[in-house]
Amino acid sequence: MLFVVDVGNTNITYGVYDGEELITTFRMMSKVQHTSDEYGIQIIELLKANDISPDNIDGCIVASVVPNIMHSLVGGLVRYLNVEPIIVGAGIKTGIKIITENPKEIGPDRIVDAVGAYEKYGGPILVLDFGTATTYDLITEKGEFAAGITAPGLRISAKALWEDTAKLPEVEIKKPASILAQETISSMQAGLVYGQIGQTEYIINQVKKESGYKDLKVVATGGLGRIISEETSLIQVYDSSLTLEGLRLIYNKNKK
């Protein structure tokens, strides 16, 4: 079995593949740092809670945008799963050619999403990831990473509202019944969700215009991606496991 690990700014998402089948996923917070033993023990317990024997894990791959936890996390994986993980980074075969001005600036999470989207759906394709940041990445028909747009994520925007204003409360991020809000909570929800929908549609249309790809495929992923995907016809597919699938594909290109 293959153990895939996506380390984001908010959560660490784990997945277990049996061949091409994703059989389970689970998460931990990435903002709370742990020792290698704590990571290892928690991973073992989470695997067992999902009826998976740690002894069946024979491969591992990690993509991370949080460098300061990698030493402990990798140490826990090596010690407790007895696997040497492949780390997505320079020198890794991905099948995606980065043609931006500075390829080293492209985060491993975005490369992994690009691989998953291009191999599953073909190109040209625009990959939207609604995570801590909202990212829009353009992959050409030849599998080239051509451009990327980065915007504040929904949670970042929401957090700014209730932390930087004296009287606005913390609210659940969801679409209200109407944009014509008449009280504070639905007013904030309307601004956050409808604002994100508007931003998303504008950016998609502008990418189509400037790239010349009128028939551009658009796929979304990320925790809050489902909310936005359901509200616009410009997103054709919402794929919750796109990043994990990209990790599996990259592992297969690099395993010995």
- In this structure, the chain runs to a length of 256
- SS3 sequence, 41-70? HHHHHHHHHCCCCHHHCCEEEEEECCHHHH
Q: Would you call 109 a catalytic residue per the annotation?
A: yes
Tell me the Ramachandran region of residue 91: left when phi exceeds 0, alpha when psi lies from -120 to 50, beta otherwise.
Answer: left
- Give the CA distances from residue 139 to residues 7, 66, 117, 127, 132, in Å, rounded to whole numbers and listed in that order: 23, 24, 9, 8, 21
Annotated catalytic residue within 51, 58, 109, 164 = 109
Encoded tokens for 180: 């014509």
Q: Are 152 and 195 in contact (CB under 8 A)?
A: no
Of 24, 17, 23, the residue nearest 59 (C-alpha)? 17
Residues acting as catalytic residues: 109
